[in-house]
Amino acid sequence: MAQLEQIAAPGSEWWRSAVIYQIYPRSFADASGDGIGDLPGITSRLDSLKELGVDAIWLSPFMTSPQKDAGYDVADYRDVDPLFGTLADFDIMLNAAHARGIRVVVDLVPNHSSDQHVWFQQALKAAPGSPERARYIFRDGKGENGELPPNNWESVFGGGMWERVIEADGTPGQWYLHIFDVSQPDFDWTNEEVREEFRSILRFWLDRGVDGFRVDVAHGMIKKDGLPDYTPPADADSMGGGEDDVPYWGQDGVHDIYRDWHRLLAEYDGDRALCGEAWLPTLKKTALWVRPDEMHQTFNFGYLMTPWDAAELRDVIRNSLDEFGAVGAPSTWVLSNHDVVRHATRLALTIDNPQGDGIGPKTPGKPDPAIGLARARAATTLMLALPGSAYLYQGEELGLPEAMEIPDEFRQDPTWFRTNGERYGRDGCRVPLPWEADAPAFGFNETGLSWLPQPTEWTTYARDAEEADPTSTLALYKELLAVRREHGFGSGSLVWEDAGDDTVAFQRGAVHVLANLGSTPVALPADATVLVSSQPFEGASVPVDAAVWYVKA
C-alpha cells in the first residue's frame, strides 16, 4: 500500500469522496482466452484505469461458484473460481492496483450461498431440526402432507421463493427459502454460527489487504418473524426498492450485523469500508444503513432510478444531501451497474421498464441511441460534480449502450429462465468490453471468444478508437475526473443556482454546473468560460441534453 495516502483525520477518509469503478470480472478482460474475463486480465488492464483517473475498483464476485447467477452464488468464500484464476492471481492484481494508488473493494455475498456450498450439502443430508439445517431457512410445508410452500413469497428472479427437498429416506420433505435462484439458499442470520463464519470470511480478505467490501443484498439478510405472507404490487421493482414494510427487505435486525462488522473493520488500518447494496423505498430509510457505527456507504439507488427530469433530479440530490448529511455520511452517486439497463440507453427509454426486466429484441419502443448517449454524458457530467463518492460501471466511460439484440440462445441471466423469457433480465449490460476496434472479440481476449456476443457496431466504442478521438466519451470521462480531482468536488457542499425550471444548476466553489434537461438551449452568463462540456457546442448556449462546468471572469 506504499503509494496510497493514509488519511487519519475523521471526515476525510478516502471512501467519502472516492470515484469507484466497478469491474464485472467475467466481462472486463480475458487473459486465458476462454471467453470469460479473469483476474490476470484485470491486472493487464490496470494502467487504463489509472489513466482514466479512478480512486478504487470494486470487483463483482470471483470466488468459487457454479456460476448459476454469474458468481453471486458462492460455494467457497475463501477461494477464487478457476474461471477467474487463483488466489495468487488475486494477490498479484491487488498489489498491482495498490502500486498504482488504486484501492480494491471486493463483493461479499452474505444473504445466500450456492447450493454447492459445503454447508448446504450437509444441510440436505441432515435431518429436519438439525444444526446443519439451522444455518439456512428450512421450514415444513403447509397442506396435509406439507406439499404447499410455507408462505406465498415470490423470488426476485420469478417463480416461488421456496424449494422442497427430498429427505434422506427418499420422501419429499422440508422446504428451503431462496430470495433469488433455487441454487441460492438464504442463510439464517439469526444463527450465531452464520455470523461467526462471516466474521472469519471478512478477516480472510482484510488480512489479504482489501480496502473494503460491497455487501450484496444488504437489506435482505433478516426476515420478519413468522415469515408472514406478502404480495408485492404488480409494478414492483424486483429488488423491492419501491415498497415499504416487505417481510424480507429492510428489516431492522440487519443493523446489528453491520454494527458488528463496522467494529471488526475498525480493528484494521487504512480506513477499510463497507458499501451496502440496499434497495429501499426512501432515502431516509437508506440513510439508516450508514449511521456512524454501521456501513460507511450505501448505493444511492434513489438517484439511479430518477428519470431524466430536472425537478425530480433537483429533489433527489437535495434529499440525498439532507438525509445522508443528517447521519454524517457522504452520499454515493451511481447511474449504472451490472443489474440495471445501462444509462446510455435507460435515460432515453420511452416505456416503463422495472429494474431487472431488461430490454431485448421484442421490447417495444427502442430508445434513440443518440439521445441516450447525449443524456448519459450530461448525467455523468452532473454526477461527477456532486459532493460524495461516485460509482462508475465498466464500459460507461466508453458510452456503451445496453446490448438490446442478444439472441435468446445466448441468454444466461436466471431471470430469463425463471420467467420463461417473459423478462429479459440483465445480460444486456454485461456484454464483454470492447478494447480494440480491429482485434478478435474487440481485444477482450486473443481468441475471439465471448461468453455473450458483442454487437458488431461496438467497433466505434472500442477504447483504442475513443483514445484517438478528443470528442469521445472516454476523453470526456478523463477530463471530468481530472477536473473533479483538481477542484476537490468529492467533498464539501454545493450552493443551488436558479437557471430555469428545466435545468439543474449549482455552484461548487468557483465552478458552476448547469445541466439542460429542457427542449431549448439555455444561455450561459456573458462572462462564462466553459471548463468541461458533455457535448461540444458553438456560441454561448448549453444545448438540450447537455451539461457544462464553467467559471465566471
Q: Residues with Cβ < 8 Å from 37, sequence gap 6 or more? A: 24, 25, 26, 27, 28, 29, 30, 84, 432, 444
Site string for ligand NOJ, 465-504 (x = CB under 6 A): ----------------------------------------
> Which residues lie across from 528 on neighbouring strands?
552
In the complex, minimum distance from the CB of residue 107 to ligand NOJ, in angstroms, rounded to a whole number:
8
Helix, coil or strand: residue 458: helix
What sections of 468-534 are H helices per DSSP? 473-487
Should residue 249 be labelled a site residue for ligand NOJ when binding is judged by CB under 6 A?
no
Rg for the chain (alpha carbons), in Å? Answer: 23
The pairing of strands 297-298 and 332-334 is unpaired
Should residue 187 be labelled a site residue for ligand NOJ when binding is judged by CB under 6 A?
no
Site string for ligand NOJ, 363-392 (x = CB under 6 A): ------------------------------
Closer to ligand NOJ by CB, 188 or 339: give it: 339
Question: What's the CA gap between 208 and 75, in Å, rounded?
Answer: 20
Inter-residue contact 174 to 236 (CB < 8 Å): no
Interface with ligand NOJ in residues 69-108 (CB under 6 A): 69, 72
Helix, coil or strand: residue 413: coil
Should residue 115 be labelled a site residue for ligand NOJ when binding is judged by CB under 6 A?
no
Q: Which of 313, 314, 323, 318 minimizes the C-alpha distance to 343?
A: 313
Interface with ligand NOJ in residues 333-362 (CB under 6 A): 338-339
- What's the grid cell of residue 373? 448517449
Edge-first strand order for the sheet with 297-298 is 297-298, 273-276, 212-215, 103-108, 56-59, 19-23, 389-393, 332-334
In the complex, minimum distance from the CB of residue 109 to ligand NOJ, in angstroms, rounded to a whole number:
6
In the complex, minimum distance from the CB of residue 275 to ligand NOJ, in angstroms, rounded to a whole number:
12
Inter-residue contact 242 to 236 (CB < 8 Å): yes
Helix, coil or strand: residue 196: helix
In the complex, minimum distance from the CB of residue 286 to ligand NOJ, in angstroms, rounded to a whole number:
16
Instruction: Tell which one of 74, 94, 109, 515 touches ligand NOJ (CB under 6 A).
Output: 109
Question: What's the CA gap between 359 and 119, in Å, rounded?
Answer: 36
Closer to ligand NOJ by CB, 314 or 430: give it: 430
Inter-residue contact 46 to 100 (CB < 8 Å): yes
In the complex, minimum distance from the CB of residue 215 to ligand NOJ, in angstroms, rounded to a whole number:
10
Closer to ligand NOJ by CB, 150 or 276: give it: 276
Closer to ligand NOJ by CB, 232 or 369: give it: 232
Closer to ligand NOJ by CB, 77 or 435: give it: 77
Should residue 186 be labelled a site residue for ligand NOJ when binding is judged by CB under 6 A?
no
Site string for ligand NOJ, 194-223 (x = CB under 6 A): ----------------------xx------
Closer to ligand NOJ by CB, 17 or 412: give it: 412
Interface with ligand NOJ in residues 508-527 (CB under 6 A): none
In the complex, minimum distance from the CB of residue 332 to ligand NOJ, in angstroms, rounded to a whole number:
15
In the complex, minimum distance from the CB of residue 220 to ligand NOJ, in angstroms, rounded to a whole number:
8
Cβ neighbours around 456 below 10 Å, total: 7
- Out of 277, 294, 323, 357, the active site residue is 277
Q: Is 277 a catalytic residue?
A: yes
Closer to ligand NOJ by CB, 26 or 272: give it: 26
- Long-range (24+ apart) CB contacts under 8 A made by 257-264 are 257/189, 257/195, 257/221, 257/222, 258/218, 258/289, 258/294, 258/295, 259/293, 259/294, 260/195, 260/199, 261/199, 261/202, 261/295, 262/293, 262/294, 262/295, 262/296, 263/293, 264/199, 264/202, 264/203
Should residue 299 be labelled a site residue for ligand NOJ when binding is judged by CB under 6 A?
no
In the complex, minimum distance from the CB of residue 500 to ligand NOJ, in angstroms, rounded to a whole number:
37
- Out of 186, 216, 271, 339, the active site residue is 216
Closer to ligand NOJ by CB, 381 or 412: give it: 412
Closer to ligand NOJ by CB, 221 or 265: give it: 221
Question: What's the CA gap between 365 and 346, in Å, rounded?
Answer: 12
Should residue 63 be labelled a site residue for ligand NOJ when binding is judged by CB under 6 A?
no
Question: What's the CA gap between 25 and 37, in Å, rounded?
Answer: 5
Closer to ligand NOJ by CB, 216 or 237: give it: 216
Question: What one-character DSSP code corresponds to residue 448?
Answer: -
In the complex, minimum distance from the CB of residue 71 to ligand NOJ, in angstroms, rounded to a whole number:
9
Helices and strands per DSSP (H, E), number in the chain: 14, 20
Phi, psi of 256 (to 5 degrees): -60, -35
Instruction: Tell which one of 180, 187, 301, 333 touches ligand NOJ (CB under 6 A).
Output: 180
Helix, coil or strand: residue 522: strand
What amino acid is encoded at 408 in this protein? D
Should residue 275 be labelled a site residue for ligand NOJ when binding is judged by CB under 6 A?
no
In the complex, minimum distance from the CB of residue 420 to ligand NOJ, in angstroms, rounded to a whole number:
18
- What's the grid cell of residue 543? 444545448
Site residue total, ligand NOJ (CB under 6 A): 9
Whose CB is nearest to ligand NOJ? 72
- Active-site residues, by number, are 216, 277
Residues contributing to the site for ligand NOJ (CB under 6 A): 69, 72, 109, 180, 216-217, 277, 338-339
